[in-house]
Amino acid sequence: MRAVAAGLVVLLATVTACSTPEPPRSAGGSPEKSACARPAGPPGDETPTTIDVIEQAYFCILGNSFSGAKLDAGTLLAAGFTALTRELNRAGRDDPAAVMPPLTGDRTADWAAFETVYRKVAGPDEALAVATLQAMVASLGDNHARWSPGQERPPGYYDGDGYGLGLQANARGTEALPPLFVTEVPGGAARKAGVRPGDIIESVNGSAPFVDGEPTPAIAALYPQYPEARPVEVGLRREDRRWTVTLEPGLYQRDLPSLQVVQSRLLADDIAYVRVRGFAPDAANRVFRAVSRLRTGRTLTGIVLDLRGNGGGSPVEATRLVSAFAHGKATAYMCNADDNCEAATTDDTVELLGLPLVVLVDRGCASACEHFSSAVKDLRLGTLVGTRTAGMISGPAQPFLLRNNTILSFPTRHHLGPNREVIDRIGVPPDQYVPPTPEDAAAGRDPALARALTLLDG
C-alpha cells in the first residue's frame, strides 16, 4: 500500500510557487555578494547559517519582495535584533553590547551598523543566526513567506506520510469558532488512542482553546511540525464522557483515500462529485478525466467540487480548472507595491464542461484554492457552500537560493480577486453558510454536501 500511495499524491504546502518566474530585481545599493537568485535545480548540501546568510536574505527581501521597494528595512532589523537578544537571554549570556544601533533609513548603512553589533555579541553561533533570520522573515507578516533551515522531513518519510498527532480539527487558529472538535482522524497517535470525529476538544496541554469565545494559542499545539516531538495532552468530551489523552507527535501512514489528490463518485445517479485535496501538477486534468468517466453512458446534471481542506498548490492548475467553466475572463490580478496589476486570465484552450456547479469550501481552503473560489464567486460560475475560506493568499511565493543552500520564499507580487478585492486575511465568504457541527461529524453526516445536492436538484 505504501508504494501505491507514494504514486498517488504530492503533498502540498500553503506556500505555492508561481509558474512564470520573474527575474530578480536589483536591491538598490546592496553589495554584490548579497544578490540572491532563483534555484536552477535542487540545492546542494546545506551549510551553516551565518551573518553572511542573514545579510543575503535581508537584501534579497528588500530587492525582490512585492513590498520591498516601500518596506521599512528597520522593521526587519528590529525584529532580528529582538530575536537575537531574546535568545541570548534564554541562554544566560546576555551581553551589555547587545544594543540596537541607531538607524538612519539608509538600507546599506543600517545593515552595516546591525552587522557590526551582531558580530560582536553573537559571533559564529548558528542557533542565534537561525533565530535572527527566522524572526526577520516572520516580521513580514506574510503567510506565503518562509525560510526553514535543516531537515524538514523526518527520517523514513516519503510522499503520502503524515507527521503530527494524527487528527484534524474544525479550525487551526485565529479563525476558530467554538466549539473546537475533531473532524478527521487520518492515523497516528490519535487513532491509536481511540479519538473519533465529533469529539469535543476541551483543553490542549491544560489550556482552554477558547477564552470568552476567542481562540487561544493552545490550538496551534494540535499541529506540531517536525522535528518537534513534545507530547501533547488533549482533553476530550464525547457526550457525557470526559477524558484526557497524551499524544506523541510522529510519522504515520495516512489512509489511502486521504492520499488521493482527486477522488470522484456519482451522486443521485446524475451528479458528479469530485473532491480536490490540493492543486498538484495536473490536478485540473485529473478532474476533467474524472468527470469524463462519470459522464460515460449517462447525462450529468451538475458537478459538486469539494475543496474543503484544500491547502493550495499551483495557481496555474487553479486557473485551468476555472477555465472549464468560463472563457475570456480574468481569474485574479497580480500586483506590485504600486498596485500596477497584471490579470491572470482563463486558459481558453480548456474545454468547457457545461455543467451547473456547486463548490464546497471551508477554513481549510487556502491559497490557490482561494484563487479558484473567488473566481467562481466573482464571475458567478457557481454557488459556494460551506464556510469562509482561510484568507491565506498574499501572493504566489517565489523561491530564492541562499548561500548556505537553504531556500527563502516570498511573494514578488500580491494577489487580488477578479473584482480587484483583497482576499488575503479576509477569505472568500460562501454564498450559502453551512457550518460543520460536532454532532454531524460524529454521525458521519455532511450537511454542506446535502445542501449542494438540493441546489443542483432544484
pLDDT score, position 151: 64
Q: Calculate ∠ Cα 456-426-451, nearest 5°.
A: 15
* CA 238/CA 221 separation, integer angstroms: 21
The SS3 of residue 177 is coil
- Tell me the C-alpha distance between 223 and 236, whole Å: 16
Q: How far apart are CA 172 and CA 241, in angstroms?
A: 24
Q: DSSP assignment, residue 222?
A: G
Q: d(Cα 138, Cα 86) in Å, to the nearest integer?
A: 15
- Contact 168/186 with Cβ under 8 angstroms? yes
Q: What domains appear along the chain, each with residue ranges and CATH number?
A: 12-147 (no CATH), 161-253 (2.30.42.10), 256-457 (3.90.226.10)
What pLDDT was estimated at residue 406?
95
For residue 153, the model assigns a pLDDT of 74
Report the predicted TM-score, pTM, of the whole model to 2 decimal places: 0.88
Rounded to 5 degrees, what angle do the CA atoms 9, 155, 402 make? Answer: 80
Cα distance between residue 331 and residue 372, in whole Å: 8
Partners of 334 in beta bridges: 342, 415
| pLDDT given at position 259 | 61
Among residues 151, 89, 147, the alpha carbon closest in space to that of 122 is found at: 89
C-alpha cell at 154: 523526518
Strand runs labelled E in 78-164: 146-147, 161-164
Task: Read off the C-alpha cell for 68.
Answer: 520591498
Are the CB atoms for 317 and 284 separated by under 8 Å? yes
227-263: b (≥16 Cβ within 10 Å) or e:
eeeeebebbbbbeeeeeebebebbbbbbeeebbbbbb
Average pLDDT by consecutive 10-residue portion of the chain (458 residues)? 34 36 42 72 92 97 93 97 97 95 97 98 96 97 91 72 92 82 94 98 97 93 90 97 97 73 95 96 96 97 97 96 98 94 98 98 96 98 97 96 96 97 97 96 97 94
pLDDT at 184: 92
Distance separating alpha carbons of residues 378 and 117, to the nearest angstrom: 51
| Burial class of residue 354 in the structure, from the number of CB atoms within 10 Å of its CB (0-12 exposed, 13-18 middle, 19+ buried) | exposed
Cell digits of residue 106:
539608509
